[in-house]
Amino acid sequence: MAKDTNRPPPPPSAHDTVGAIVADAKRDEVPIRREFLQQPTTDGNPSPGPLAEFVKTGDRRGLVLWMLVLTKASGGDFSVTLAATVWARAMGFDLPESKSARTAISKTWTRLERRGLISRKRVHRQTCVALLQEDGSRRPYDHTPGSAGEPYFRLPHAFWLSGPAASSRWYQVLSLPEIAMLLIARSLGDEFRLPTESVPGWYGISADSAHRGLHGLEEHGLLSIEKRYKDAPLTPQGYTAENRYTLQPPFGPVGKRQRSIR
């Protein structure tokens, strides 16, 4: 049947829109400075990075939108200019052209600005969003971390382009704690050890959120959990146990062993 060119095509789906944004990134993974998760201090003890605020406030939309901007803009001139309707469609709003959807996107940009992760300005009735450093310092994002040897990890584009079913993608399916722990896991490597009781001090995320995130990833088949035992004659049980975690496809294995978790 001949294609009717006298009528506009149906609006693209969220998948189509996100796929087009990611395609412009010209890379298979997005680099993220580890300072987004955990920032160094002068005394050698870690300080939670901006990720903690997203989890504490339940701002899943803000985290996903920032990650999408980072995916697109870090592969170019570190900025992206698109209409609010496009971002709303990417975020899955039923009526992306509506005033309420555009307002919701604008409020999300405001939260990201307040956290020092982006700046924005108007360009021909569209919003130009420019990246700032992932540590929330409001410094300009003027180079990718790999080019300067800064500590960073990579998030595969499978986060945007694949999922547990043909009709869903991981960015839509994973909960906020699961996304947070996926990012932390990508930064740690294979067979990593992460006592959940230590996560609040190291990453500013509650032990309960860490537990739900890790075991949620396991339920999705994205994380394997291996329990290891050691002899400990002076303990009540006579042994100690710890979990070792390894990401599974499409997010792992990472291909390197755990770095220091402090």
Residues 92 and 142 in one domain: yes
What pLDDT score was predicted for residue 247?
97
Residue 209 lies in a domain: yes
| 6 within domain boundaries | no
Residue labelled with tokens 């982006």: 118
**Do 184 and 253 fall into the same domain?**
yes
Same domain, 47 and 121: yes
Report pLDDT for 242. Answer: 82
**Which domain does 94 fall in, by range?**
12-164
Residues 22 and 52 placed together within one structural domain of the fold: yes
Clarify whether residues 118 and 178 are in a common domain: no
Distance, in Å, from the CA atom of 248 to the CA atom of 217, rounded to the nearest integer, reads: 9
| pLDDT of the chain, 262 residues: tens digit per residue | 555 567 777 888 899 999 999 998 878 899 999 999 998 777 767 789 999 999 999 999 999 999 999 999 987 789 999 999 999 999 999 888 899 999 999 999 999 999 999 999 988 888 899 999 999 999 999 888 877 778 999 999 999 999 999 889 999 999 999 999 999 999 998 999 999 899 999 999 999 999 999 999 999 999 999 987 777 677 777 766 788 999 999 999 988 776 555 5
What is the rounded CA–CA span in Å between residue 212 and residue 197? 13
Examine the domain organization and report whether 120 and 75 are in the same domain: yes
Q: What pLDDT is stored for residue 5 in this prediction?
A: 66
Residues 178 and 69 both lie in one domain:
no
Kindly state whether residues 29 and 147 are assigned to the same domain: yes
Residue 5 lies in a domain: no
Whole-angstrom Cα distance, residue 150 to residue 34? 9
Q: Which of 252, 253, 244, 246 is nearest to 226 (CA)?
A: 244
**The last residue of a domain, from among 130, 164, 198:** 164
In a domain, 157, yes or no: yes
pLDDT at 184: 97
**Do 248 and 150 reside in the same domain of the chain?**
no
Q: Tell which of 117, 144, 164 closes a domain.
A: 164
pLDDT at 259: 59
Q: How many domains in the chain? A: 2
Domain identity same for 245 and 214: yes
